[in-house]
Amino acid sequence: GQQLNQSPQSMFIQEGEDVSMNCTSSSIFNTWLWYKQDPGEGPVLLIALYKAGELTSNGRLTAQFGITRKDSFLNISASIPSDVGIYFCAGQWIRNTGKLIFGQGTTLQVKP
Amino acid sequence: DARVTQTPRHKVTEMGQEVTMRCQPILGHNTVFWYRQTMMQGLELLAYFRNRAPLDDSGMPKDRFSAEMPDATLATLKIQPSEPRDSAVYFCASGPGQGMREQYFGPGTRLTVT
């Protein structure tokens, strides 16, 4: 079956530092999504990517759809305490079915 | 601000009891998903619907789980009988359009089966 490897599993950084996390897949995806989950809440969509090579920003967040279509990364610049949470990548491998495959998540902690 | 809503937010029940979780998708969204989240397995897709019709429930234990959409504003996930291994957070998500790519999650129902 399809698998997503998300790394790192966890990060502990100082406020103001930049953060980078990535996901790799054993299969080609048509769509990559990045979500953030706060404790006790559902995942919130941050960025959606639809084309290989696409680079998209949302405030301090930037994500890219890898050229091979098997990977994606998410960068957070100038981290702040409210960036704390679990970040998930998700890939969709067949258009129109809607089924997403999720990574295991990256837990981010930010020290003020 | 349109959101997916889920009830109840928390449910504690004894093994063998029936559990029903409800979801109201975002108005206008025609695709609804049910996920289960555990520490060990992460987010797993249980079932999904498009235009109220079930498209895939292969992720769901068929003998005890059932999912339905009685109407466009309500999706239900039922477990009967519940078991301790069903303890998890259950999320509903909805998405717009036929070529749907984005999914918007509800706050989840935390289920504990003792």
* Residues in chain A closer than 8 A to B100 (CB atoms): 96, 98
Write down the pLDDT at residue A99.
76
Percent of chain A clearing pLDDT 90 (strictly above): 79
B15 to chain A, closest Cα gap in Å: 24
In the predicted model, is pLDDT for residue A37 greater than 60? yes
Of B55, B102, B105, Cβ closest to residue A42: B105
Mean pLDDT of chain B: 92
What average pLDDT does this structure show over B37-61? 89
Between A23 and B103, where is the model more confident?
A: A23
A76: confidence class by pLDDT, cuts 50, 70, 90: very high
B114: confidence class by pLDDT, cuts 50, 70, 90: very high
Write down the pLDDT at residue B100.
56
A3: confidence class by pLDDT, cuts 50, 70, 90: confident
CB contact under 8 A, B99 and A95: yes
Q: Compute the distance between CA of residue A88 and CA of residue A16 in angstroms, rounded to an integer.
A: 21
Work out the number of other CB atoms within 10 angstroms of the CB of residue A70. Answer: 16
Is A40 part of the contact surface with chain B (CB cutoff 8 Å)? Answer: yes
Percent of chain B clearing pLDDT 90 (strictly above): 73
CB contact under 8 A, A100 and B4: no
Write down the pLDDT at residue A94.
64
Of A42, A48, A50, Cβ closest to residue B91: A42
Residue of A nearest to B55 (CA): A97
Mutation for B interface: A100, A101, A102, A106, most B CBs within 10 A: A100
Of B42, B100, B102, Cβ closest to residue A105: B42
SS (H, E, C) chain B: CCCCEEECCEEEECCCCCEEEEEECCCCCCEEEEEEEECCCEEEEEEEEECCEEEECCCCCCCCEEEEEEECCEEEEEECCCCHHHCEEEEEEEECCCCCCCCEECCCEEEEEC
In the predicted model, is pLDDT for residue B59 greater than 90? no
A92 to chain B, closest Cα gap in Å: 8
A4: confidence class by pLDDT, cuts 50, 70, 90: confident
Tell me the per-residue pLDDT of B17-32, one tens digit each, with 9 for 90 and over: 999 999 999 999 989 9
Write down the pLDDT at residue B40.
86
Q: Is there a contact between B89 and B108 (Cβ–Cβ < 8 Å)?
A: yes
B99: confidence class by pLDDT, cuts 50, 70, 90: low
